[in-house]
Amino acid sequence: MNRFLEKYINDLMMLSGVSTCIDPYFHFERDIFNNNFSALLRENYKKLKIILTSLNGYDSVENSSIFFFDKKKYSFSEELKISKTPIEDFSVESPIVKKMLKTKSVVIDNGVVLSPIFLKGVVFAFLYFRSNRNDIKGLSKTFSYLLTSELESMVEKIDLSKFVSFSNLISGFFNETLKYWENKDLFKYVSKKLYKVFRSDRITIFSYDFRGNKTIIEHVLGSKPLYKRGMKIDGFNNIQIVSIDSKESVFFDLSLNETVYSKNINDPLDIKSVILIPLISRDRVSGGIFLEYTSSPYIPFKMELLNNIGEVVGQFMDRNIMYKNMKDMATTDFLTNLLLKREFIKLLSNEVERSNRMGNNLSLLMIDVDKFKLINDNYTHLAGDHVLRTVAVIIKKSIRKIDIAGRYAGDEFCVVLYNTDIKQAVFTAERIRKNVEDMPIFYKGVKLNVTLSIGVSSLEKDDSDYNDLILRADLAMYEGRKGGKRNIVNALLNC
């Protein structure tokens, strides 16, 4: 195929949404290249047939037909005709077609007339008929103009309806997401919504750690995911770099330019095209959304809309992080990273009510660091802080994920043990005590001997609320301290 035809085919591919450009100009729904144009013709068959019938009504004019480009065959095929006699396809390399494409004007050859029909400046169809009239060029130009105007009007209607439909989807997405910005599953929700809108084979939302030079996977949705949520990937690929530098959405057809996107050899999907939407907040790129396709996608919008999506989702992500940080500050002790007393009591109260209603076991541990004041007095409060942090870490590692640990007071901790009776609770308390004693705790080279006294209580039928549970555990803990430290006291046996 010569250079002219290659350029022509590339122009047609541009109409169908395939481009080597970073920012292709996506005009409209390319139904003519998505096997839907026949349906469009049927809807407007009467108008087009009237035009062809009018042309066929002239003397010495016959076999009026419209041929459209078929990208699979690289030829023009008959789609709409007046006569019943079928006409063979015209290859793009046939002399008469090449001449029409080069001159973009009417071509006459032995009574066969081809008159180009344009769409966005590209010949995507032509009017065919047979005639020996002297005024055939003027006649064919007139009817080509009528057909071009009619077909462009049809495509503009598609463009408008698709754009309105897409805009409604995006508007709905923004309004719905606004309700979920504080949700811990924000990325999961956003992924599902965007997956429906963009129909990609896989969608990945990620954030950037510029200090560590890493990409952090926030959520993946679609067939055969390559990465898992929470994974950290070293460095950034070429598409990410382009997006970070420009703060713009980018599109690449990998079949035309594979160097921009290093495919993972372990990827089970054969990715053919990629869209990256940067997530922007406070005028900086904080992450992105990868849309990956196993084909070259039709995109019914301009890149500005993608940028708008990135800005909105970026703001949601920023708000989500700020909300999480504020919530952590309001509910979590900054020194030990355990729940504050107020939040702990709130959860304990809810669990007491639920356990009473369901008839489940519930136990509470009250934990005191023995001789903690001496540590502060002898080694400074910084040493005391170090001890509290270390003990908190050991407590968290010694209990189940479903259990709750909190800082109750200065050197006192508390733990709620779900669905646990008094015997199991004592066993857990002993594990915590032993783990703390077995862990050597040093401060500035000095080994600190840290031990615990723990009071244990379990929910009883007569308990009116959480205060009864706390009171028994607290009294048991103080009994342990009076008994010589390093004790675990069962409130049930201590009554």
Number of folded domains in the chain?
3
Boundaries of domain holding 67: 13-177
The confidence score (pLDDT) of residue 82 equals 66
End of a domain among 152, 177, 202? 177
| Cβ neighbours around 432 below 10 Å, total | 23
Give the CA distances from residue 466 to residues 351, 355, 455, 463, 491, in Å, rounded to whole numbers and listed in that order.
9, 11, 15, 7, 15
> Residue 431: which H helix or E strand, with range?
helix 422-438
Domain co-membership, 212 together with 311:
yes
φ and ψ of 144, to 5 deg: -65, -40
**Residue 44 lies inside a defined structural domain of this protein:** yes
Task: Give 121-189 as a DSSP string.
Answer: TEEEEEEEEEE--TTHHHHHHHHHHHHHHHHHHHHHHHHHHHHHHHHHHHHHHHHHHHHSTT-TTHHHH
Q: Which two structure tokens, joined as six digits, stand for 70?
A: 């078929």
Q: For the domain that residue 152 is a member of, what is the CATH number?
A: 3.30.450
Confirm whether 332 is domain-assigned. Answer: no
Determine the Cα–Cα distance for residues 107 and 126; give it in Å rounded to an integer.
11
* In a shared domain, residues 482 and 456: yes
Please write down the long-range contacts of 136-142, taking CB distance under 8 Å and 24 or more positions apart.
136/106, 136/108, 137/106, 137/108, 139/55, 139/58, 139/61, 140/106, 140/113, 140/115, 141/106, 141/115
Contacts of 164 by beta carbon, 8 Å cutoff, 6+ apart: none
Instruction: Specify whether 187 is located in the same domain as 118.
Output: no
pLDDT at 35: 41
Does 290 share its domain with 356? no
Beta-bridge partner residues of 113: 108, 129
Which CATH number characterizes residue 248's domain?
A: 3.30.450.40
Predicted local confidence at residue 420, as pLDDT? 93
Tokens standing for residue 398 = 């010694």
pTM for the full model?
0.49
What Rg value do the Cα atoms of the chain yield, rounded? 36
364 belongs to a structural domain: yes
Residue 369 has a pLDDT of 94
Q: Decide which of 123, 150, 177 is a domain's last residue.
A: 177
Q: What residues are paired with 455 via a beta bridge?
A: 366, 489
Residue 146 covered by a domain: yes
Query: 266 vs 131, 225, 252, 293, CA distance in Å?
Result: 61, 11, 21, 16
**What does pLDDT average to in each consecutive run of 10 residues of the chain (495 residues)?**
55 45 30 46 70 82 81 69 73 84 86 83 82 83 83 68 62 63 69 77 86 85 82 78 79 64 71 84 84 67 72 78 76 92 93 90 94 92 95 95 93 94 93 93 91 92 86 89 71 57
DSSP state letters, 338-396: SBPHHHHHHHHHHHHHHHHHHT--EEEEEEEETTHHHHHHHH-HHHHHHHHHHHHHHHH
Q: Are residues 48 and 173 in the same domain?
A: yes
How far is the C-alpha of 451 from the C-alpha of 448, rounded, in Å? 10
**Position 333 in a domain:** no
Cα separation, 442 vs 277, in Å, equals 49
Query: Does residue 449 fall inside a structural domain?
Result: yes
Statement to judge: residues 455 and 479 lie in one domain: yes
The answer to whether position 494 is within a domain reads no
Close Cβ partners of 294 (under 8 Å, ≥ 6 residues apart): 201, 269, 270, 271, 272
Distance separating alpha carbons of residues 38 and 29, to the nearest angstrom: 14
| Same domain as 307, residue 369 | no
pLDDT (0 to 100) of residue 21: 27
Given 325, 358, 381, the domain boundary residue is 325
316 and 409, same domain (yes or no): no
H or E segment and range at residue 455: strand 452-458
What's the gap between Cα 262 and its chain centre? 20
pLDDT score for 344: 94
Distances (CA, A) of 222 to 188, 295, 429: 12, 15, 45
pLDDT of residue 251: 79
Q: Provide the token pair at 289.
A: 């959304």
Statement to judge: residues 170 and 109 lie in one domain: yes
CB contact set of 21 (below 8 Å; sequence gap of 6+):
251
Q: What angle do CA 12, 17, 21 make, to 5 degrees?
A: 95
CA dist 465 and 467 (Å) reads: 6
Q: Are residues 142 and 106 in the same domain?
A: yes
Residue 24, helix vs strand vs coil: coil
CATH number of the domain within which 447 lies? 3.30.70.270
Tally of CA atoms within 13 A in the half-sphere of 274 that contains its CB: 27
Q: Is the domain of 242 the same as that of 216?
A: yes
Are both 217 and 314 inside the same structural domain? yes
129 domain residue, yes or no: yes
